[in-house]
Chains A and B, each alone.
Chain A
Amino acid sequence: DAGVTQSPTHLIKTRGQQVTLRCSPKSGHDTVSWYQQALGQGPQFIFQYYEEEERQRGNFPDRFSGHQFPNYSSELNVNALLLGDSALYLCASSFRHTLVTGAQETQYFGPGTRLLVL
């Protein structure tokens, strides 16, 4: 059973450029969340996609956008890159319960994409 996969593993960009990161969820999962992990810090939530729509968003500017495809895979796009965008970008997948039970579905993380902005 394949876990969460992300591509590419590493990426180098220059300020002002745009970048697209990709994520394939764990088999059977329908929800994808993206996190940014700066060096020496804990991950910070960017947004979450379910049924091809952004369902929840953290405190990140509009330069960060995303997409979810019918096969549940997802992309994270960052425009007008800044030096401060250099980080490990983590994708997490989960299975959203169709009924709201109050139980929080467990999120499983991919290995991440390390982005360096010069």
Chain B
Amino acid sequence: GDSVTQMEGPVTLSEEAFLTINCTYTATGYPSLFWYVQYPGEGLQLLLKATKADDKGSNKGFEATYRKETTSFHLEKGSVQVSDSAVYFCALTTNQAGTALIFGKGTTLSVSS
């Protein structure tokens, strides 16, 4: 079945470091891909999305490119801040799954000053 695999955390970085969180997927059809972020004690916020191969989603300095050939959607940011500390979830939807989001297990990012 459809699934999402994320790198396990926690990821611990110093402020201004480069961030990569790996995400790969297995899906039938042509999925749409998403990154959601969950700050402590809060619900999920959509960070960015891409709906077709080679699309790049970007928001708040974060970027991710939909790579069909490697079935990946890695999240990157050039310079992280303490306020980026949160849990990041990669997710997908496919026509077969309807509009249900299928999530990875999440990656915890901790940024120190």
Contacts and interface: CB of A to CB of B under 8 A. Distances in A.
Interface of A: 4, 6, 31, 33, 35, 40-45, 48, 55-56, 58, 90, 92, 94, 96, 102-112
Nearest to A56: B98
Contacts of B12: none
B99 A42 contact: no
Contact of B105 (A35, A41, A45): A41
A42 B105 contact: yes
Interface stretch (B13-21, B43-51, B61-69, B72-80): B43-51
A109 B4 CA distance: 19
Contact of A107 (B51, B101, B102, B104): B101
Nearest to B98: A56
Contacts of B95: 102
A33 B100 contact: yes
Interface in B75-113: 89, 91, 93, 95, 98-106
B44 A109 contact: yes
Contact of B104 (A42, A48, A96): A42
